[in-house]
């Protein structure tokens, strides 16, 4: 049989990834509670499943490594190896190694780091038990061992039971005996032989004239079968014949299976080869496109599509020979269709939704390792892990979150001694909290540390020339300086946070997702970062506005306010062009009709409206004719349908069928300001 094993690789990879992340959280729990046997069994099962799968699908590196680990885990769960911090560390490192091996097999990295040190530490732990030398059978040996077999081949018998005429009179019931036999052996067929039956006139109602021919399959011996009929044997005819020849009790085949030489199982080896990058990419892309969806969600979708189809036929029926009499029914059908399509949209969006625990999942381990590295005591608390958001957003937000958590441990929390001196509990707390708020998700990362050091931030800001020495910026302004590019106040650059990537990168990443980040910090009590993200990147909350005949959409996250300026507020400034004064702030005016070259209704800013937008702390006033309103729009990519245009983030289709462009505010400010200066 020619089965392409590579078709199962994807499933195996996903499964192994899940098992490994389960294993990690279980190991962290084991650290807390080293005596929990159920925990140990589950950890063992994770390793065991990964080993089984990797060996079957030809990933011998993973199988070999995991084999030793499994042996160790087996000793641990049998109480032969004590769970201590050294062991959990070893197990966690092993789990990392398996992760690396898996990535190597997927072609994500060229090769996993050398594991010989790790393997010998594992083998030492095994050897420490005194279970003899560490001659661990290799996987390939196991494969060539007795690979399959059958316990006691059942034999087929034909049995004739012809009870003597006096059997019934003696109180025996042959049927009962046959029924009893049927409980122990598989009856294939029973034929009742009535040839011996006399005519009705001659029949003796108390005598037995019938016989049975039975075919059965069982691993009972002949003697055991005959024993059933001991009771009636005297004047009866019981004949037993083996139809299929008896075989050895245990059939063992020892032929070596070609388990690892299948041509299509060599993918793992190929992808590790740097000369075949195309294959690697193909694997990678296929992976990025898969999405695990619960059958429940798919069922709901199918259900909704079914409703739509019914709706559509209802509409068809109403529209044929339409008369005003049918108007109420038409309206009803349209309303129904509207409901079904809205639900369908919600459901389809939910297909891409995953609980945020996928992003939070990495933190227990991260916090543990970081806390150990900097010698602080840290407790991680998470809540709202089941809050769902778009898979793409989860993937994109994981790194910024990691950076924030690192920062909190490194800079936010004090050392244990400092905390005690400050009258705080010794163990610092980092909390991750996710919650839905309207159309967005809010993620809060808080620590109960010392809060931001305003003096040092201000000193840095003055040093960098962001403020002058005699300025008195507000507390909020000072705190927000940490989002400035090139900001880093860490007195000494530690291993963790001080590596170039700063809070500005975090802010950019959040903004790229259409989100925003704010912070609040109380001296001595801690710092909280609040990230607000749209639930999905495919739908955008926007403000529609019009310029001449065109409708544009500005993402709501960029909008500060809309004003109708008084004539005195609009001025021309040399070098900056046209500006507007808003409560003492001077903002450049960008005439959208000039940017997009459309004839407007109003050329004078005092006739139209100014929409003030902001990005990267730079504000611009957009001159438009009119605001239409706020709405949710589905983003269609311009790049895939046309080509990339500076200042345009995408397009959407309006209710009346017209296309409307979605403004890319950061791009626009970048492009537009240049144009004004020129």
Give me the residues that bind another protein (CB under 8 A), please: 1, 3, 5, 7-8, 11-12, 15, 42, 45, 48-49, 51-53, 55-57, 63, 139, 142-143, 145-154, 183, 186, 217, 251, 253, 257-259, 262
Q: How many CB atoms lie within 10 A of CB 196?
A: 11
- Which is closer to another protein, CB of 297 or CB of 636? 297
Rg of the chain over Cα atoms, rounded to whole angstroms, equals 38
Q: How far is the CB of 50 from another protein (least distance, A)?
A: 9
Cross-strand bridge partners of residue 380: 430
Output 85 or 138, the one with its CB closest to another protein: 138
Q: How far apart are CA 619 and CA 612, in angstroms?
A: 7
Give least dist CB 49 to another protein, A: 5
Question: Minimal distance in Å, beta carbon 257 to another protein?
Answer: 4
| DSSP secondary structure letter of residue 33 | -
* CA-to-CA separations, 567 to 166, 178, 621, 623, in angstroms, rounded: 125, 109, 15, 14
Distance CA 140, CA 404 (A): 46
Cβ distance to another protein smaller for residue 150 or 242: 150
Q: In angstroms, what is the minimal distance from the CB of 1 to another protein?
A: 5
In the complex, minimum distance from the CB of residue 62 to another protein, in angstroms, rounded to a whole number: 12
CB-wise, 188 or 512, nearer to another protein? 188
CB-nearer residue toward another protein: 24 or 550? 24
DSSP code at position 585: E
Q: Which is nearer to another protein, 227 or 244 (CB)?
A: 244
d(CA 99, CA 103): 6
CA 355 to each of CA 25, 26, 236, 535, 585: distance values in angstroms, whole numbers, following the listed order: 17, 19, 73, 11, 42
Burial of 315 (0-12, 13-18, 19+ CB in 10 A): middle
The encoded tokens of residue 316 equal 């068809």
| Closer Cβ to another protein, 147 or 511, answer by number | 147
Strands (E), 535-643: 539-547, 550-555, 559-563, 570-573, 577-582, 585-591, 609-615, 618-624, 626-634
State in angstroms the smallest separation of the CB of 304 from another protein.
27
Residues 6+ apart with CB under 8 A from 313: none
Q: Give the nearest distance from C-beta 52 to another protein in angstroms.
A: 5
Residue number, 48 or 601, with CB nearest to another protein: 48
Residue whose token pair is 């300001």: 673
**Residue nearer to another protein on the CB measure, 150 or 677:** 150
**Alpha carbons 274 and 206: distance in angstroms, whole number:** 89
Closest approach, Cβ 458 to another protein, in A, equals 56
Count of H helices and E strands in the chain?
Answer: 22, 24
- Strand partners for 496: none
Output 16 or 553, the one with its CB closest to another protein.
Answer: 16
| Nearest CB to another protein, comparing residues 33 and 255 | 255
Q: Would you say 3 or 288 has its CB closer to another protein? A: 3
Task: Compute the least distance from the CB of residue 265 to another protein, in Å.
Answer: 10
Q: Which is nearer to another protein, 52 or 328 (CB)?
A: 52
Cβ neighbours around 33 below 10 Å, total? 9
Give the pair of three-digit tokens for residue 53: 């799968």
Q: How many CA atoms lie within 13 A of 433 on its CB side?
A: 12
* Helix, strand, or coil (residue 437): strand
For residue 192 the two structure tokens come to 């009742």
**Cβ 251 to another protein shortest distance, Å:** 7
Strands 440-447 and 428-437: antiparallel
For strand 609-615 and strand 618-624, is the pairing parallel, antiparallel, or unpaired? antiparallel
Question: 556: burial class by Cβ within 10 Å (0-12, 13-18, 19+)?
Answer: middle
Cβ–Cβ < 8 Å for 569, 580: yes
Query: Could you identify the residue written with the tokens 């999405």?
Result: 291
Minimum distance from CB of 146 to another protein (Å)?
Answer: 6
Q: At its nearest, how many Å lie between another protein and the CB of residue 16?
A: 8
To another protein, the closest distance from the beta carbon of 150 in angstroms equals 4
Half-sphere exposure of 194 (CA within 13 A, CB side): 5
Q: Which residue has the tokens 């302004």?
A: 477
SS3 call for 223? helix
Residue 185 Cβ vs another protein, minimum distance, rounded to whole Å: 8
Which of 217/326 has CB closer to another protein? Answer: 217
């Amino acid at each position: 049989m020619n089965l392409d094993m590579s078709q199962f690789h994807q499933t195996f990879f996903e499964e192994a990834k899940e098992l490994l992340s389960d294993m990690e959280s279980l190991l962290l729990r084991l650290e807390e509670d080293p005596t929990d046997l159920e925990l140990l069994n589950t950890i063992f099962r994770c390793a065991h499943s990964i080993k089984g799968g990797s060996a079957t699908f030809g990933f011998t590196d993973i199988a070999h490594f995991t084999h030793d680990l499994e042996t160790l885990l087996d000793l641990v769960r049998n109480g032969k190896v004590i769970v201590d911090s050294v062991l959990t560390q070893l197990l966690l490192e092993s789990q990392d190694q398996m992760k690396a091996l898996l990535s190597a097999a997927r072609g994500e990295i060229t090769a996993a780091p050398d594991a010989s040190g790790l393997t010998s530490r594992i083998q030492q732990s095994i050897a420490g038990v005194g279970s003899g030398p560490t001659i661990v059978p290799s996987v390939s040996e196991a494969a060539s061992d007795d690979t399959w077999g059958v316990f006691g081949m059942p034999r087929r018998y034909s049995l004739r039971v012809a009870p003597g005429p006096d059997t019934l009179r003696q109180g025996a019931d042959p049927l009962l005996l046959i029924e009893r036999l049927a409980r122990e052996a598989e009856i294939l067929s029973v034929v009742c032989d009535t040839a011996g039956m006399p005519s009705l006139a001659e029949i003796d109602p108390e005598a037995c004239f019938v016989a049975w021919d039975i075919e059965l399959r069982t691993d009972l011996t002949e003697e055991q079968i005959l024993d059933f009929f001991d009771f009636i044997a005297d004047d009866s005819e019981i004949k037993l014949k083996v139809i299929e020849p008896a075989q050895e009790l245990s059939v063992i085949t020892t032929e070596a299976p070609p388990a690892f030489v299948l041509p299509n199982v060599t993918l793992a080896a190929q992808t590790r080869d740097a000369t075949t990058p195309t294959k690697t990419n193909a694997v990678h892309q296929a992976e990025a496109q898969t999405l695990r969806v619960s059958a429940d969600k798919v069922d709901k979708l199918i259900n909704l599509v079914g409703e739509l189809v019914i709706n559509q036929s209802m509409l068809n029926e109403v529209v044929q020979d339409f008369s005003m009499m049918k108007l109420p029914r038409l309206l009803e059908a349209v309303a129904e269709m509207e409901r079904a399509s809205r639900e369908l949209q919600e459901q389809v969006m939910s297909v891409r939704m995953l609980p945020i625990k996928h992003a939070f999942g990495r933190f227990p381990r991260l916090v543990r390792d970081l806390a150990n590295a900097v010698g602080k005591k840290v407790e991680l608390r998470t809540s709202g892990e089941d809050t769902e958001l778009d898979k793409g957003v989860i993937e994109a937000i994981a790194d910024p979150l990691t950076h924030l958590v690192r920062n909190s441990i490194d800079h936010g929390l004090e050392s244990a001694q400092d905390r005690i001196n400050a009258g705080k509990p010794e163990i610092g707390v980092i909390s991750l909290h996710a919650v839905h708020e309207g159309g967005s998700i809010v993620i809060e990362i808080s620590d109960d540390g010392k809060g931001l050091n305003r003096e040092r931030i201000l000193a840095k800001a003055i040093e960098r020339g962001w403020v002058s020495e005699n300025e008195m910026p507000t507390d909020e302004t000072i705190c927000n300086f940490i989002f400035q590019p090139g900001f880093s106040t860490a007195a000494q650059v530690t291993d963790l946070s001080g590596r170039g990537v700063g809070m500005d990168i975090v802010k950019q990443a959040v903004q790229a997702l259409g989100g925003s980040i704010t912070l609040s910090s109380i001296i001595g009590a801690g710092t909280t970062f609040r990230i607000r993200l749209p639930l999905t990147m495919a739908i955008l909350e926007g403000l529609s506005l019009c310029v001449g005949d065109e409708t544009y959409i500005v993402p709501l996250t960029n909008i500060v306010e809309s004003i109708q300026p008084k004539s005195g507020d609009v001025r021309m400034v040399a070098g900056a062009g046209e500006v507007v004064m808003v409560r003492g702030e001077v903002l450049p005016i960008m005439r959208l009709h000039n940017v997009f070259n459309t004839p407007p209704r109003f050329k004078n800013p005092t006739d139209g409206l100014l929409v003030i937008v902001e990005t990267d702390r730079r504000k611009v006033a957009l001159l438009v004719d009119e605001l239409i309103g706020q709405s949710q729009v589905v983003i269609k990519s311009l790049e895939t349908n046309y080509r990339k245009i500076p200042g345009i983030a995408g397009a959407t289709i309006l209710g009346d069928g017209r296309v409307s462009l979605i403004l890319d505010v950061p791009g626009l400010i970048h492009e537009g300001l240049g144009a004004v200066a020129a």
